[in-house]
Amino acid sequence: MIPAARLSAAIEILADIETRRRPAADAVKDWGLAHRFAGSKDRAAIAGLVYDALRRKASSAWIMGEDTPRAVLLGSLRQVQGLPLDAVEALFSGEGHAPALLSDAEKQRYRDGTLDDAPASVAGDFPQWLEPAFQRVFGALAAAEGEALAARAPLDLRVNLLKGDRAKAIKALAHLKPEPTPYSPFGLRLPLLPDGRAAPLVAEAAYVKGLVEVQDEGSQLAALLAHAKPGEQVLDLCAGGGGKTLALAALMNNKGQIYASDNDGRRLAPIHERLKRADVRNVQVRAPRGRVAKLDDLEGRCDLVFVDAPCTGTGTWRRNPDAKWRIRPGALEERIKQQNETLATAARYVKPGGRIVYATCSVLAEENEDRITDFLKENAGFQARPAGDMAREAGLPMLADFASTLGPGLRLTPRTSGTDGFYVVELTRE
């Protein structure tokens, strides 16, 4: 396919997402199935165009003065790819499968449109209804934080210390140009390919043999901040697919016991294969029978209960730009309820002198500081540990810079730490 035809395809897919209100991944996949002549490179490039346009949807529409799929794509060509007007005019030629010629108004907006008077939610590309929540957390930096959440994310890897060290992984993946991540001592960052795609990893021996796992540095830091020690009894209450379970197991050097649980058994399904590949031997998977996992024997016995709570995922919008336009206020309410539930459950399993580490991949105070403040009001035996102490204990004193100003815990964001957005807090039991 010629580059201009890829643009037409991206416009078509964006229209499908908009009119049928369907997930971007489904629309992209269906387009591929219906256009089998398109090769894998074409499909990847088209998906890249669609995701870039979704990342900058609100600001692109503002710049172009309309919110049609064509306008949103045009805006993103300017904002994400920085294409000059004459290059865009050459692509929008109206010939063959190329998009129709640019109108004079489009040319003028493409050249001169600005975000100077745009509200934070438009300049920062997040839903308007979240404007008060973003202002509360980020104040005057709301737009800048949103913009960083709208950027392309690099591909981060966690080196599995049970299988080797960072130097070994760097050597094995040298052709993909890995760099050590700034904070996580076992993180590697792979640059994106020129078209914005992540380097293909699944066929790499280092991945197949479990030396590296895909995990954003923020996620690695959440596990590190839990500072689980070899020999401890750890309950990973919301273990899901086991991303953090694997990191905790490596930090514990396979010594002690991790109980990996989740109230949705289907989510735990990938964990067995992942544990095997990573050579993890200190994890017991406790799948629920019915809606509740059987954990009675752990009551009051755990050194650490790790709560990787269900959340809106606002911190992962770089990887999932579609999600930010789909999230509704009702979903936030629902997550808050679940977060209260998981914290109350966690409290039952901590032993005296033990701790809960609560984490979310959301930047919103409603899912973070507010939940902890409410929890502490109702659970007099628990105290929040100062963020600086938690960071030092984990061997990451520099993370104290990210201490929250709205309550206990610390917050990572793409703008401040270059990671996905995460919140982490430690609660100690007397």
- Shortest Cβ distance from residue 223 to ligand SAM (Å)? 8
Nearest residue to 52 (alpha-carbon basis) of 86, 21, 24: 24
Is residue 338 a contact point for ligand SAM (CB under 6 A)? yes
Is residue 305 a contact point for ligand SAM (CB under 6 A)? no
Choices 105-113, 241-249, 294-302, 323-331 (CB under 6 A): range interacting with ligand SAM: 241-249
Containing H/E element for 171?
Answer: helix 166-172
Segment 356 to 415, residues that bind ligand SAM, using CB under 6 A: none
Residue 52 marked as a ligand binder: no
Residue (156 or 262) nearer to ligand SAM, CB: 262
Is residue 310 a contact point for ligand SAM (CB under 6 A)? yes
Residue (49 or 157) nearer to ligand SAM, CB: 157
Contact 161, 186 (CB under 8 A): yes
Is residue 263 a contact point for ligand SAM (CB under 6 A)? yes
Q: Is 361 a catalytic residue?
A: yes
Contact 362, 352 (CB under 8 A): no
Residue (60 or 282) nearer to ligand SAM, CB: 282
Contact 7, 91 (CB under 8 A): yes
- Shortest Cβ distance from residue 415 to ligand SAM (Å)? 22
Is residue 239 a contact point for ligand SAM (CB under 6 A)? yes
Helix/strand/coil (H, E, C) string of 121-170? Answer: HHHCCCCHHHHHHHHHHHHHHHHHHHHHHCCCCCEEEEECCCCCCHHHHH
Choosing from 238, 302, 311, 361, which is the catalytic residue? 361
Question: Can you tell me which residue has the tokens 């920085």?
Answer: 82
List 75, 210, 218, 243, residue binding ligand SAM (CB under 6 A): 243
Is residue 154 a contact point for ligand SAM (CB under 6 A)? no
List 28, 237, 250, 252, residue binding ligand SAM (CB under 6 A): 237
Separation of CA 67 from chain center: 26
Nearest residue to 422 (alpha-carbon basis) of 317, 267, 323, 302: 317
Separation of CA 183 from chain center: 17
Pairwise CA distance, residues 310 & 333, whole Å: 12
Is residue 220 a contact point for ligand SAM (CB under 6 A)? no
Nearest residue to 356 (alpha-carbon basis) of 326, 388, 385: 385
Is residue 348 a contact point for ligand SAM (CB under 6 A)? no
Rg (the chain; Cα; Å): 23
Residue 262 marked as a ligand binder: yes
Residues binding ligand SAM (CB under 6 A): 237-244, 262-264, 267, 308, 310, 338, 341-342, 345
Q: Which segments are annotated as binding site for S-adenosyl-L-methionine?
A: 262, 308
List the catalytic residues. Answer: 361
